[in-house]
Amino acid sequence: MSNNKKQHKVLVLLGSPRKNGNSNILAREIAAGAESVGAAVESLFIQGMDIKACQACWSCQKPDSKGCAIKDDMQEIFPKLIEADSWVIATPVHWFNMSTQTKLWLDRCFALSKYGDNPFNKKIAIAIAYGDADPYASGAVNAIRSFQDSFRYVGAEITGVVYGSALEKGDMEKNEAVLKAARKLGEKLAG
């Protein structure tokens, strides 16, 4: 007897400039949780991609538009975003908000509305690492709020947010409670 259930696809967007940064550690745990319930996971390291800033040309919003006019790596990312059932967005807090790499990607998602019917109909998990012990003083709440406002605007569902303090590279590995919460979020995301 075969199981015809479609495999849940999770796209992980790593927005840290460090390949093994603390937010990426959280994303890895979310991905592991999703894989543990049978999801297929693909990760993209945004830092290593050519993603230009939105030019506010509005080409993507015109009635006859075929999508974003900027020719860079986002042209490869857009189909992956659409195909995925869930997204994981991982970012460190830099200067009281999400990283520049993450913000570039998020701004370019403005064009997604021209890439199909309801392209934001996704489950979304957010992973945030910050240096201060306090999520308010660090700016983590600003990053969380930015994601909440952006995704509420397009009608997307934020399934959960995990965040924790970790200043030095690898410090997040010591925060067992946050790592456990990240893995559970991955299970929920793909379950």
Measured on CA atoms in the order 117, 52, 157, 12, is the torsion positive or negative? positive
pLDDT in tens, 178-191: 999 999 999 999 98
Of 129, 54, 38, 47, the C-alpha closest to 86 is 38
CATH at 126:
3.40.50.360
Domain of residue 176 covers: 9-190
Instruction: Please report whether residue 96 resides in a domain.
Output: yes
Mean pLDDT to the nearest integer, 139-159: 95
Write the single-letter amino acid at 173: E
d(CA 184, CA 26): 11
- At 116, the pLDDT band (50, 70, 90 cuts) reads confident
- At 3, the pLDDT band (50, 70, 90 cuts) reads low
Mean pLDDT to the nearest integer, 4-16: 94
Burial pattern 114-130, b for ≥16 Cβ within 10 A else e, equals: bbeeebbebbbbbbbbb
Residues 120, 125, 128, 134, Cα dihedral to 10°: 110
pLDDT in tens, 89-110: 999 999 999 999 999 999 999 9
Of 25, 36, 49, the C-alpha closest to 162 is 25
Instruction: Please report whether residue 57 resides in a domain.
Output: yes
Mean pLDDT to the nearest integer, 79-93: 97
Whether the pLDDT of residue 115 is over 90: the answer is: no
Phi and psi angles of residue 136, each rounded to the nearest 5 degrees, phi first: -80, -50
Q: Which two tokens stand for residue 159?
A: 């399934």
pLDDT in tens, 35-67: 999 999 999 999 999 999 999 999 999 998 889
Name residue, tokens 């967005």: 89
How much is the pLDDT for 188? 98
Compute the chain's Rg from CA coordinates.
Answer: 16
- At 176, the pLDDT band (50, 70, 90 cuts) reads very high
Instruction: Please report whether residue 2 resides in a domain.
Output: no
Do the Cβ atoms of 105 and 13 come closer than 8 Å?
yes
- Domain tally, the chain: 1
How much is the pLDDT for 1? 44
Q: CB 45: neighbour CB atoms within 10 A?
A: 16
Instruction: Please report whether residue 141 resides in a domain.
Output: yes
How much is the pLDDT for 66? 85
Instruction: Please report whether residue 3 resides in a domain.
Output: no
Do the Cβ atoms of 101 and 47 come closer than 8 Å?
yes
Phi-psi group of 38: left, alpha or beta (phi > 0 → left; psi -120 to 50 → alpha; rest → beta): left
Give the Å distances, CA to CA, from 161 to 4, 63, 114, 115: 31, 35, 27, 26
Instruction: Please report whether residue 33 resides in a domain.
Output: yes
